[in-house]
Structure 1
Amino acid sequence: MPSGEAGDSHVQAVLDNPRFKLLVQKKRMLSWSLSALMLIIYIGFILLVAYAPEFLHSSFSGVITWGIPLGVGVIVAAFVLCAVYSVIANGEYERLTQEVVDDIKSAEISANSQQGDH
């Protein structure tokens, strides 16, 4: 692991990499979007509990009330949104990360070969 100035230059090379910037932007957008969606689902359920308890107490099959499947739906939505993030992170984000690593290695090899020429 590089230390001192060499380590700082590696960090700066990553931070300056346009693919890294794209990766950060995409991850941020997806994270905030999925978080907002989960928040809307959760707040929607809480608002139903607060303002429409009679609906949640009403039965749709004679035995099960609407509150049960809607509550389970909130939990399932959380798992689904986590799965969506995982699939995207293990696919597109992993590919972008590898491209950043390859760019940095290529730049490092190029810099080392230029130093050897001098």
Structure 2
Amino acid sequence: MQDDLVRRIKSDPDYHRLVSARSRYGWTLAIIMLIVYYGYILLIAFDKELMSKKLGAGVMTWGIPIGIFVIVFTVIITGIYVRRANSEFDDLTESIKRKVSK
């Protein structure tokens, strides 16, 4: 019974669409996140002058708001993935479940 269910799921074209779309989307967002994160690390390593430049007359440097941007960007990109996963990907999953349970 279990093998038959797995075979039906794997042969469903919606399943292949789901796997392909989710993988492509996940990798795209992961690459964007890596570019932002490692870009920040590279700025720390190779442009110390920019990162240590003060903002206005206070003691805050450019490194702090750029670091906060990286953290906020992480939350935003996670929200973007969750939003699409809860709509498009969940709809495809439910469609697959309905088809294979018949």
Q: TM-score under structure 2 normalisation?
A: 0.95
Letter in 1 for 2:89: Y
* Corresponding residue SS for 1:61: coil
1:36 counterpart (31, 36, 43): 31
Letter in 1 for 2:61: T
1:81 aligns with 2:77: yes
Q: Which runs of 5+ in 1 are unaligned?
A: 1-5, 109-118
Letter in 1 for 2:81: Y
User: Shift in Å at residue 60 of structure 1?
Assistant: 2.4
* CA displacement, residues 5-50 of structure 1 (integer Å, 9 cap, x when unaligned): x110101100110001100001101110010001000110011001
1:55 aligns with 2:54: no
Which ranges of 4 or more aligned residues in structure 1 deviate by more than 4 Å?
A: none
Measured on the aligned residues, the alpha-carbon RMSD in Å equals 0.9
User: Shift in Å at residue 104 of structure 1?
Assistant: 1.0
1:14 aligns with 2:9: yes
Corresponding position of 1:90: 86
Q: What percentage of residue pairs aligned between the two structures are identical?
A: 32
Rg comparison, structure with higher value: 1
Count of residues in correspondence between the two structures: 101
For 1:61 and 1:80, locate their aligned partners in 2 and report how far apart those are by CA, in whole Å: 28
Instruction: Select the structure with the greater relative contact order (CA < 8 A; seq sep ≥ 6).
Output: 2
For 2:4 and 2:98, locate their aligned partners in 1 and report how far apart those are by CA, in whole Å: 16
Q: TM-score under structure 1 normalisation?
A: 0.82
1:26 aligns with 2:21: yes
